[in-house]
Amino acid sequence: MRTYTLPACILMAFTPAACQQQPHTEHADTIAAGPERQVGGPCECCEAWRDGLPGALSWQTTITPDGEPGEVLEVSGTIFESDGKTPAEGVILYVYHTDYTGRYSNGTASTTCGRRHGHLRGWMKTGSDGRYRFRTIRPASYPNSKIEQHIHPVIKEPGVREYWIDAFVFDDDPYLTTDMRKHLDNRGGTGILHPVRNKQGIWVAERDIVLGKNVPGY
Ligand SMILES: [Fe+2]
């Protein structure tokens, strides 16, 4: 398993993102009752997806507050069931990433893990077409590092405990080396984005996600 596909909280000693289990705040709207199937192995700090969960979720979201510095990025795609064909409804996609300086900055969540995800966090919930979309800024590599730019995703689907999938990474990132590409887990399918600038100068990219793909125990 390559560390760069894991949530930030278990990545690098020089990041402010080391994690520990913390109490979390549950939200009644989207938390399924009853036992959950546990898949995907350790998912340290993934439970922070619950921390700050908005009361109403849409299939799309804007993560960045007004005035957030950085290059605007819009990512979209379809989440499919494990057959790779059927759009998956009712799936929560939680994403978080560094700011334009490479830091998980200014976290205001109620839990330690949530705060370590910084302030650039977002949630979406798919409708019957499985679509998702988020607008944010392109994250930077961790300061003074050669860690590739990345956006961490966590999947929460009904009846299954949250699990991480491969980070969104960028094909045009020089730090995404050939060797790294060879060793990606491809959980949920490849996380490599191919961003292009649209006419408005915004980076746009697509990624489809297949639930459970390459996720141990799924
Ligand atoms: Fe990270």
CA of residue 209 to ligand 1 center, whole Å: 19
Task: Convert the pLDDT of each residue in 51-62 to its tens digit.
Answer: 999 999 999 999
CA of residue 33 to ligand 1 center, whole Å: 30
Cβ atoms 109, 14 nearer than 8 A: no
Cβ atoms 60, 132 nearer than 8 A: yes
**What pLDDT sits at residue 33?**
56
CA of residue 95 to ligand 1 center, whole Å: 11
pLDDT band at 35 (very low <50, low <70, confident <90, very high): confident
Contacts of 109 (CB under 8 A, 6+ apart): 48, 51, 52, 115, 117, 121
Q: Which domain holds residue 9?
A: 1-218
Q: Is the pLDDT of residue 50 over 60?
A: yes
- Name the domain count of the chain: 1
Please tell me whether residue 198 adopts helix, strand or coil conformation: coil
pTM of the predicted model as reported, rounded to 2 decimal places: 0.86
Task: Convert the pLDDT of each residue in 7-20 to its tens digit.
Answer: 444 443 333 333 33
Q: What is the CATH number of the domain that holds 46?
A: 2.60.130.10
Sign for the CA dihedral angle at 135, 53, 82, 97 comes to positive
